[in-house]
């Protein structure tokens, strides 16, 4: 690895994390770039998990200052997603990639339809009391996201956003803040497992972390100026890209 590779992943992390901190999807770009820079797929995933923690940590700090984090929900989801990430990182060779892609396509298409058919979803919070059953179901869904993030990770933050918007009725801005708690937990756990197995390239992971940290700090800082309406539009665009990418790769 040379200094050019480190600079490339720094700037890629910087650019994609500006919006990634609001709608997720950064790993859709960073993992392929890491592979193009010469890393084996599993090392690219492990390195990405380490670097993405820059988004989680800077975003958490900024959204906390803006009081946009629901800590009861965030803390409840952090534990199951951490356990799921540990399991997922340890079964990376056991899961069928084709089945996983099909599940994500179905979830994404349904989410896209709901967002288009319900203009207020994610823009106006769906205010309601949250009971124990809501937390339990949310924890189960988050656990499954954690398993997925453990062995791949791309769109993990976006899947957490699904849960917060559709199940807990948060706005996009609220969910962008709240998911940082669970996202940091699952990425940290996955990073540890990959590191123990020697699948993290720190020469690229560290500059990626720095780039993601700076980009996330900027994106979260200006999040309220962007607003829920534009974040929803960007999120719908990202869903189109995700569905198209997975559909093409499954052919």
| Average pLDDT score over the chain | 81
Q: Measure CA 181 to chain center.
A: 11
Q: Strand, helix or coil at 21? A: helix
Average pLDDT over residues 196-224: 92
Which whole-number Å values give the CA distances from 48 to 54, 66, 71, 178, in the listed order? 10, 27, 26, 21
**pLDDT above 80 (res 247):** no
Percentage of residues of the chain with pLDDT beyond 70? 79
- Identify the pLDDT of residue 7: 94
Our CA dihedral for 197, 199, 204, 206, rounded to 10 degrees, sits at -30
Ordered DSSP codes for 28-81: HHHHHHHHHTT--HHHHHHHHHHHHHHHHHHHHHHHHHTT---HHHHHHHHHHH
- Please name the residue that has the structure tokens 């890209």: 241
Find the mean pLDDT for residues 124-136: 71
Write down the pLDDT at residue 105: 66
- The least confident of 68-77, 118-127, 161-170 is 118-127
Contacts of residue 142, defined as CB under 8 A and 6 or more positions apart, other chains included, come to 77, 80, 81, 84, 160, 163, 182
In the structure, what pLDDT confidence band is assigned to residue 154 with cuts at 50, 70 and 90? low
To 10 degrees, what angle do helices 71-90 and 132-151 make?
40
| Cα separation, 177 vs 56, whole angstroms | 9
- pLDDT at residue number 174: 86
Q: How far apart are the first and last CA of the chain?
A: 33
Degrees to nearest 5, angle at CA 8 with 5 and 10: 110
- The pLDDT-based confidence of 147 (bands split at 50, 70, 90) is confident
Average pLDDT for 67-71: 89
With cut-offs at 50, 70 and 90, classify the pLDDT of residue 138: confident
Quickly list H helices, the chain: 3-23, 27-36, 41-65, 71-90, 97-117, 132-151, 156-162, 172-196, 202-221, 223-250
Q: What is the model's pLDDT at position 10? A: 97
User: What pLDDT shows up at residue 119?
Assistant: 62
Q: What is the pLDDT of residues 87-125, one digit of tens each?
A: 877 776 565 556 655 665 676 676 667 666 666 655 555
């Amino acid at each position: 690895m040379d200094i050019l590779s480190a600079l490339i992943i720094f700037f890629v992390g910087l650019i994609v994390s500006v919006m990634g901190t609001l709608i997720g999807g950064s790993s859709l770009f960073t993992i392929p770039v890491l592979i193009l820079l010469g890393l084996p797929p599993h090392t690219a995933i492990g390195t990405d998990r380490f670097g993405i923690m820059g988004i989680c940590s800077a975003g958490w700090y900024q959204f906390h200052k803006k009081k946009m984090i629901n800590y009861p929900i965030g803390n409840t989801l952090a534990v199951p997603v951490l356990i799921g990430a540990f399991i997922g990182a340890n079964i990376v060779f056991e899961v069928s990639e084709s089945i996983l892609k099909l599940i994500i396509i179905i979830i994404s298409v349904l989410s896209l339809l709901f967002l288009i058919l319900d203009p207020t979803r994610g823009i106006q919070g769906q205010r309601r009391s949250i009971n124990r059953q809501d937390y339990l179901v949310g924890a189960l869904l988050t656990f499954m996201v954690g398993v997925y993030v453990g062995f791949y990770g791309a769109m993990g933050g976006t899947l957490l956003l699904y849960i917060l918007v559709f199940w807990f009725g948060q706005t996009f801005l609220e969910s962008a803040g709240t998911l940082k708690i669970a996202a940091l937990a699952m990425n940290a756990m996955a990073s540890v497992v990959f590191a123990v197995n020697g699948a993290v390239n720190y020469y690229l992971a560290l500059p990626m972390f720095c780039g993601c940290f700076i980009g996330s700090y900027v994106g979260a800082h200006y999040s309220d100026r962007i607003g829920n309406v534009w974040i929803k539009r960007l999120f719908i665009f990202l869903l189109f890209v995700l569905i198209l990418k997975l559909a093409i790769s499954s052919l």
